[in-house]
Amino acid sequence: MELVLYTSAFCAPCVRARSVLRDAAALLPRALIREVDVLSNLRESEAQRIESTPTLVVRSNGTEVFRASGVPSVRQVLAAAALAMD
């Protein structure tokens, strides 16, 4: 499972979302968690149709199973991760 947080440098909600994802990562040791700065990775961000930051995308075997914008709670991240579990 892969959790990707799309962020931007001057986004205050992104700081909070990053913290939530860090807390959730402790409970998801097998998950690949990465952060993508949309300006530094414009091509990927456009290909993924990222329209706002923060946006969390959860994939299972490369297939998107969840997407949400805004600051999630740890509970929401865990529920989204459950959708990606085989």
Instruction: Return the DSSP state at 18.
Output: H
Report which residue type is found at 60.
S
Which residue has tokens 């205050």?
12
Averaged pLDDT of the chain: 95
In this structure, what token pair is assigned to residue 66? 């969840």
**Looking at residue 60, which CATH number applies to its domain?**
3.40.30.10
Domain count, the chain: 1
User: 21: domain range?
Assistant: 2-84
| pTM higher than the cut 0.85 | yes
pLDDT in tens, 35-72: 999 999 999 999 999 999 999 999 999 999 999 999 99
